[in-house]
Structure 1
Amino acid sequence: MSDQQPAPRSVADRLRDALASVRASAARRPVPWIAGGLAAVLVLGSGGAVAVAAATMPAPRSSASPVADASTSSTPSQSTSATATAPASTPTPAGRAVPKDVPGPTALRTCTISSAASASGLGAFEGYVMNAKTGEVLFSRNGDKAAQTGSVMKTLTTATALAVLGGDHRIPTTVTKESGGTIALVGHGDATLSAGGATVYPGAPTLGQLAQQVKAKLGNTPVTTIVTDDTYWNDADAWDPTWPVSERTIGYQPNVTALMVDGDRANPGAATSPRSTDPVGRAGSLFRTALANAGVAGAANAQLVKRATTSSDTIATVSSQPVSTLIGQMIPNSDNTLAEMLARISSKESGSNGSAVSLTSVYQAALKSYGVDPAGIVIKDGSGESAANAVSPNFVAHLMVQVQAGAKGLGTLANALPVSGQSGTLASRFTGANAVARGKVHAKTGWIDSANTLGGYIDAADGSRLTFAFYAIGSSRAAALPALDAVTAATYSCGSKLTGS
């Protein structure tokens, strides 16, 4: 073996040999030739390798005729034409996305009621304000904290009654005929039933109307016993233990029984008039007088007995004004009696038992139908008299969005709300510097010993409509009322630009 190496060949010779080898391989095996050809070329050096690769690149196979690709790849002219590079196309940029609805500018909220909301007259203040149209929360200070509502509760009672009973519902009072000269006066919660003289409830049905019907049915048959039946609900919880007894003795609230006359007022023509401890017994006595006046035999000396009637033979019936009318009498004057009646009747007609204990669940179910969330509210009565009621300003403001829109019959409530400086319990309010909001605030007032409240909606100075609830807890009424008016008037002036907490 000799250590001497043969003379090196020229680059041109090596290129020719490699090209011949690649062509022969491509003719035999059209697919794998590329790898083999490239491997052969790589040994030649960088300059020649590039040239060979370009010269030997076959045309792509046709999916329709793979055999034709193999035959044409062996032809130099076709191999060369396959290497022609098409000019690169310039991609067309996609169009820029443009939103269909471009929001307009949002007004800056720069107006504050912080000073008015910090007045000492508001005590432990809770407040919540919303834009009724947009749902935006404009102000909240302890707004999610549930607390006593005072008579703002009557707005919840109204909404519940409208949901359960409907505005056209009328409350009946009936008389049944039992055996042996006994008849029964049966109450179903109509506190407006009147003795027939002056009354704070215009258009109320009367005992005289019932007595005339009884006379027409009985003729000369004597009446020996008059049963008074208030068992439509159990009167064991007729008086809430958290209510001050003075509410009855002064004349703001009666015992809550299903049978009474003129709201059990000593003076039927006065809204505030002392109430008795036995509204059912008083109703029986007044009915006995009405029967005697109608000429019913034996009625003047008939015995009064309190129990449930044993008969379904109805011989006389009268009905209250529609619930919508009763709401129009209750809300402007903040009538506690009607509120308690509507609460208990709503409980009974919803399938519950008419008790005070049932009210929380009854209200929650009814109020949910308006699209608001009543979770967590606590309802002890229909009037708001109890300090144990618990409803947040947040909830009241959200309910008022539905009220001002008149949703599902709530226009009845909207139309009944007192108006600042003009009607109801707001007629004498909003004076002095607060007079700027007279005629613009539609709201229910509330007052118990521990709280003064206001909740409703405002037609603000900038044309927006706001819903709100303000609670002044723990301060005196003398201090709370002007402070509530001031913070409400400030809210009116700010309108939708209100900000802060």
Structure 2
Amino acid sequence: MFALLGTGAVVASAATGAPAPLRPAAAGSSTSTTTSTPAPSEAPPPARPVPTAATAASPLRTCSVADLAADPRLANFQAQVVNATTGEVLFDRGGDTPSRTASVLKVLTSAAALRVLGPDYRATTTVVAGSAPGSVVLVGGGDLTLSRTPSGEESVYAGAAHLDQLADQTIAAWQADPANPPLTSLILDSSLFGGPGWDPSWDRKELSDGYMPEITALQVDGDRDNPSRSTSARSGDPVGRAGAAFADELGGGVSVSRGTAPAGARQLASVQSQPVSTLIQQSLTVSDNALAEMLARLVAVKSGAGNTFESLQQSTVAGLAPYGLDTSGILIADGSGLSDDNAVPPSYLTRLFIKINAREGNLGVIFDGLPVAGGPSGSLSYSDRFTGENAVADGAVFAKTGWIDTGYTLSGIIHAADGTPLTFAVYALGDVSDNAKQALDTITAGFFRCGDNLSNT
């Protein structure tokens, strides 16, 4: 019975899962102890990643100009708009692609001139004694504004020096020395600028249409037929025109030839141009090509890069370097922007105009020369600019215009409707016509309306 009861207890224990009772050890036997192995503990879960800093919120901008950017009049459209206070790019269409700028390039030429020449630099035209008896040398100093109009009468370049002033000084200095023979010979020295005077990429019709002269260090009135008109046909020989006009001021009866001044020659007379600061503003306001080329060539000479068109890439880019902006990809073929071979990305212009808007260094000179939409003068005051609904931006767009046969451009500063200062550059390139100007005005007025709410989509 004891055996049966013990077996039943074991069975019951197994059935219920309860531990079976231990049997008493037999006399004289050793007792063994069973040690149970503890269950392995679980590894703690990995720590959840925590951002080092909270992600800054960005505004959801809802003001779109996408339909304006799709205007077919803009052809191959490139643009960039930047908040000038924060530096944030608000709108971009190919903004980093270097492309031809047309006359907007004058902004770069002006910025380089302010760095290399300085705002107070003046170009000087001189007369020195020649090596032969009775001869004087008229030495061009690169002043394309020197005027053949009578003193007291303004040419298209207000405040320009006059040939009659130079002639009066020359005659007085010559006659002051009793040993001098009669003045019989005039030599013209235009060697400060190297040839050719016409860039191969320019359309020759610009000369006859009155937009560009041959670039020589000696000429008068930008070689215009009419010194009082901004757009006036130019001659094929600006040095000869200047020489003939000066010979007349000397009283006539002198022979005219070309050469160079002897080293160390005695100076008889000199006159100076307006300062660079004035020349820049005159150039930008009406987009004067001759002045821009004058400044670019003087930058090249002063920097030691050379005195030809080929030297402008080196001298202009080097002149821009101190502004601290990336100039990679910029190509400079001339100073005026007339060449298709120039290339500047819109993004460079928006960054440069941030500095212009802040008047860094002497860059306020450029701001003060920019045409103003609806302004009293300049290339944005014309009757076909910022008209109709675009007139909403009158007085708030300060920008340089540009036009060549293969593109229209506009770049500058917008004081937007919401008070945000914007910098912008817009290019309409390729198969364009005159109505591209109105399309550029329209999208610029769109930027004005949107301000900091401008969307990139």
Letter paired with 2:379: T
Shift of 1:311: 4.0
Shift of 1:464: 0.7
Asked if 1:409 corresponds to 2:362, the answer is: yes
| Cα distance between partner residues in 2 of 1:327 and 1:477 | 28
SS of the counterpart of 1:111?
Answer: coil
Q: Identify the match of residue 376 of structure 1 among 326, 329, 339.
A: 329
Q: Identify the match of residue 471 of structure 1 among 427, 434, 455.
A: 427
Match of 2:118 in 1: 166
- Contact kept, 8 Å, 1:191 with 1:260, in 2: the verdict is yes
Q: 5 Å matches for 1:349-428?
A: 349-422=302-375, 423-428=377-382
Asked if 1:135 corresponds to 2:87, the answer is: yes
- Contact kept, 8 Å, 2:212 with 2:234, in 1: the verdict is yes
Match of 2:268 in 1: 315
Match of 2:400 in 1: 444
- Contact kept, 8 Å, 1:184 with 1:227, in 2: the verdict is yes
- Contact kept, 8 Å, 1:370 with 1:407, in 2: the verdict is no
Shift of 1:363: 1.4
Asked if 1:181 corresponds to 2:168, the answer is: no
Per mean C-alpha deviation after superposition, the further-off stretch among 469-478 and 408-417 is 469-478
SS of the counterpart of 2:441?
Answer: helix
Match of 2:439 in 1: 483
Match of 1:238 in 2: 197
Shift of 1:408: 1.5
Letter paired with 2:127: V
| Cα distance between partner residues in 1 of 2:141 and 2:442 | 43
Shift of 1:105: 5.8
C-alpha deviations, 1:322-361, integer Å up to 9, x for none? Answer: 1001111111010000000000000000111121111111
TM-score under structure 2 normalisation?
0.85
Letter paired with 2:193: W
Asked if 1:113 corresponds to 2:69, the answer is: no
Q: Identify the match of residue 187 of structure 2 among 221, 224, 227.
A: 227
Q: 5 Å matches for 1:36-47?
A: none
SS of the counterpart of 1:159?
Answer: helix
Match of 1:248 in 2: 207
Letter paired with 2:389: A
| Cα distance between partner residues in 2 of 1:151 and 1:337 | 12
Shift of 1:98: 11
Asked if 1:325 corresponds to 2:284, the answer is: no
Letter paired with 1:337: A
**Uncovered stretches (5+) of structure 2, i.e. residues with no partner:** 1-26, 36-50
Match of 1:461 in 2: 417
| Cα distance between partner residues in 2 of 1:103 and 1:349 | 50
**Uncovered stretches (5+) of structure 1, i.e. residues with no partner:** 1-5, 11-42, 47-96, 293-299
C-alpha deviations, 1:352-395, integer Å up to 9, x for none? Answer: 11211111111111112111111111111101001111111111
Aligned residues: 407
Q: Identify the match of residue 201 of structure 1 among 157, 170, 185.
A: 157
Q: Identify the match of residue 122 of structure 1 among 74, 85, 90.
A: 74
| Cα distance between partner residues in 2 of 1:364 and 1:374 | 7
| Cα distance between partner residues in 2 of 1:315 and 1:202 | 25
Match of 1:146 in 2: 98
| Cα distance between partner residues in 2 of 1:366 and 1:407 | 15
SS of the counterpart of 1:408?
Answer: coil
SS of the counterpart of 1:310?
Answer: coil
- Contact kept, 8 Å, 1:176 with 1:311, in 2: the verdict is no
Match of 1:157 in 2: 109
TM-score under structure 1 normalisation?
0.77
| Cα distance between partner residues in 1 of 2:372 and 2:130 | 50
Q: 5 Å matches for 1:10-29?
A: none
SS of the counterpart of 2:96?
Answer: coil
| Cα distance between partner residues in 2 of 1:496 and 1:424 | 28
Pairwise CA RMSD: 2.2
Letter paired with 2:67: S
SS of the counterpart of 2:239?
Answer: helix
Q: Identify the match of residue 217 of structure 1 among 160, 170, 173.
A: 173
Sequence identity (%): 46
Letter paired with 1:363: T
- Contact kept, 8 Å, 1:364 with 1:375, in 2: the verdict is no
Shift of 1:479: 2.0
C-alpha deviations, 1:159-205, integer Å up to 9, x for none? Answer: 01001001011110011102311110001110111113340111111
| Cα distance between partner residues in 2 of 1:408 and 1:456 | 18
Shift of 1:107: 2.8
SS of the counterpart of 1:332?
Answer: helix
Asked if 1:263 corresponds to 2:219, the answer is: no
Change in 2 beyond 3 A, CA 1:461/1:176? same
| Cα distance between partner residues in 2 of 1:152 and 1:468 | 12
| Cα distance between partner residues in 1 of 2:90 and 2:58 | 14
Shift of 1:476: 3.4
Letter paired with 1:412: V
More helix by share: 1
C-alpha deviations, 1:285-313, integer Å up to 9, x for none? Answer: 11111111xxxxxxx12111111111431
Change in 2 beyond 3 A, CA 1:213/1:491? same
Letter paired with 2:96: D
Shift of 1:45: 10
Match of 2:20 in 1: none
Q: Identify the match of residue 283 of structure 1 among 220, 226, 242.
A: 242
| Cα distance between partner residues in 2 of 1:353 and 1:291 | 33
Letter paired with 1:426: L
Q: Identify the match of residue 301 of structure 1 among 234, 253, 265.
A: 253
Per mean C-alpha deviation after superposition, the further-off stretch among 209-218 and 102-111 is 102-111
- Contact kept, 8 Å, 2:141 with 2:217, in 1: the verdict is yes
| Cα distance between partner residues in 2 of 1:9 and 1:209 | 136
Change in 2 beyond 3 A, CA 1:311/1:223? farther
Letter paired with 1:483: A
| Cα distance between partner residues in 2 of 1:343 and 1:184 | 25
C-alpha deviations, 1:59-113, integer Å up to 9, x for none? Answer: xxxxxxxxxxxxxxxxxxxxxxxxxxxxxxxxxxxxxx998xx998643222111
- Contact kept, 8 Å, 1:188 with 1:232, in 2: the verdict is yes
Letter paired with 1:384: G
The one of the two structures with greater contact order (alpha-carbon pairs below 8 A, sep at least 6) is 2
| Cα distance between partner residues in 2 of 1:196 and 1:425 | 25
| Cα distance between partner residues in 1 of 2:189 and 2:394 | 47
SS of the counterpart of 1:240?
Answer: coil
SS of the counterpart of 1:424?
Answer: coil
- Contact kept, 8 Å, 2:305 with 2:314, in 1: the verdict is no
Letter paired with 1:175: V
- Contact kept, 8 Å, 2:149 with 2:227, in 1: the verdict is no
